[in-house]
Amino acid sequence: MKTTSILAMGATIAALGSGGMAGAQSRPNTSNQPIGYGADSGELTPTAVSLRGRAEITQGQTRLRANAIEGTRDASGGLTRIEATGDVYYVTPNETIRGDRAVYTVNNATVTVSGDVILTQGQNVLTGGSLTYNVDTGQAQVQGGGAGANAGRVRGVFYPEGSN
C-alpha cells in the first residue's frame, strides 16, 4: 500500500484545518475536551457504551457520526477507544472525513477512517482506502485502496489559495 502524508503535498494543504502553518500551532487540543454522546438508543455499562441509530460522539468542535458506535470505558468511566461503523463522518470546523468505519483512540488522539475514504477541506478533496488523522495537530496520512485501475492509489484535487 502506498502512504502519503497530506502535509508533504505542499503549501496548498499545508496544515489541515488551519489555513496555514501558523494556524496549526494555535490549534486547540481537542483530545483534552469532554466527550459527549447521543443516539436513538443506547446502552451504558461500567466498561462500555453502545449507541445505535443516528449515533454521535462530540468532543470540542468535532463530531463523529455513524449508524452505530461502540466505546470502551476505563475505570473512571472515560472513553478510551471508540469504533464507529456504517456511514461514518468525522467533522471538524474545517474538514469532513467520510468512510465506512472509524476507530478513535483517545490516548493518542487519532482517528483512523477506512473504506472508500473521502477527505474534504473547502474545495480540496482527497480519496483513498484509509486515513489516519491526529485530532490535536490536524495532520493526516492517507493510504491508497480500492479496486480496479486505481487500486492502491491516493487521488485528490487541490486548489491553490485564491483560486475559484
Q: 49-91, pLDDT tens digit by residue?
A: 999 999 998 988 889 999 999 999 999 888 899 999 999 999 9
Where does the pLDDT of residue 33 fall: very low under 50, low under 70, confident under 90, or very high at 90 and above?
Answer: confident
Rounded Cα–Cα distance for residues 153 and 147 (Å)? 10
35-39: average pLDDT:
87
Kindly list the structural domains of the chain, giving each domain's residue range(s) and its CATH number in brackets, ordered by start.
Answer: 3-13+35-157 (2.60.450.10)
Kindly provide the residue ranges of all beta strands, DSSP E only, lying in the chain, ordered along the sequence.
Answer: 3-5, 35-38, 41-44, 48-59, 62-73, 79-91, 96-105, 110-121, 124-134, 140-143, 155-157
C-alpha cell at 95: 474538514
Give CA torsion, residues 76, 34, 129, 123, to 10 deg: 180
pTM for this entry: 0.76
CB burial of 93-125 (b: ≥16 within 10 Å; e: otherwise) equals: ebbebbbebbbbbbeebbbbbbbebbbebeebe
pLDDT tens by residue, 124-156? 999 999 999 998 888 889 998 765 555 678 989
Greatest mean pLDDT among 23-37, 104-118, 145-159: 104-118
